[in-house]
Structure 1
Amino acid sequence: MSMLTWDEKYSVEIAEIDRQHQKLFGLLDELYEAMQDGQAAEVVGKVLDRVIDYTVYHFAYEEKLMRDAGYPDDAAHRAEHVELADQAKELARRLQARQGTCRWPR
């Protein structure tokens, strides 16, 4: 069962950004399903790493578009990205600390 389902109401009407958002929905669903299935922390951690890696890529892409377009709320939106990325990395740190490995530095 999916946690997230893409809907056109989420569209920003920029095809590449919408495609990346759809990919993030898929990765988050994969993470949710792994957690729901009670898969080992190692499996969940690997999926979470993929979510974080793609999120970092997506945020950089989106931020470049905003800068290039002169988006007026660019700084506030970047701050939201930093906060979300930090939250995801903290979750990964806590999960990986239980495994004795930690990929994400403080």
Structure 2
Amino acid sequence: MFAMTADGSAHTRLRRAIQAGNLAIIHTTAAELGHISLRDALGILLVIEREAEERFDAAAVRWAGRLALETPDLELAELAGALESLEALPDEHAQRVLVGLADRARPLAGRGGRR
């Protein structure tokens, strides 16, 4: 269960922080949630690309690894396309490709959280 505050659920606060591009609040709220959906992780990745470019490559590699693990029917060509799209960020077409892939992901067994 998520703790509720005057600011809403932790998940709502995370989404607001992503929209605002606030990495400090993203970090705090993500730690509170424990599990972040791959789609929300993509939003965080876009903030990192804008606000902390030096951290982007490592974060993008972790995101791609999660995509491979959490999308059981992912094909090799799709993973290659995802890597190309990650390299092309913040391009809007690349973002659409990655959102489509992230929406197919399923959390690994044993992990809670909401999609």
TM exceeding 0.5: no
Which structure shows the bigger proportion of residues in helix conformation? 1
Give the TM-score normalised by structure 1.
0.38
Greater RCO (CA < 8 Å, at least 6 residues apart): 2
Larger Rg: 1
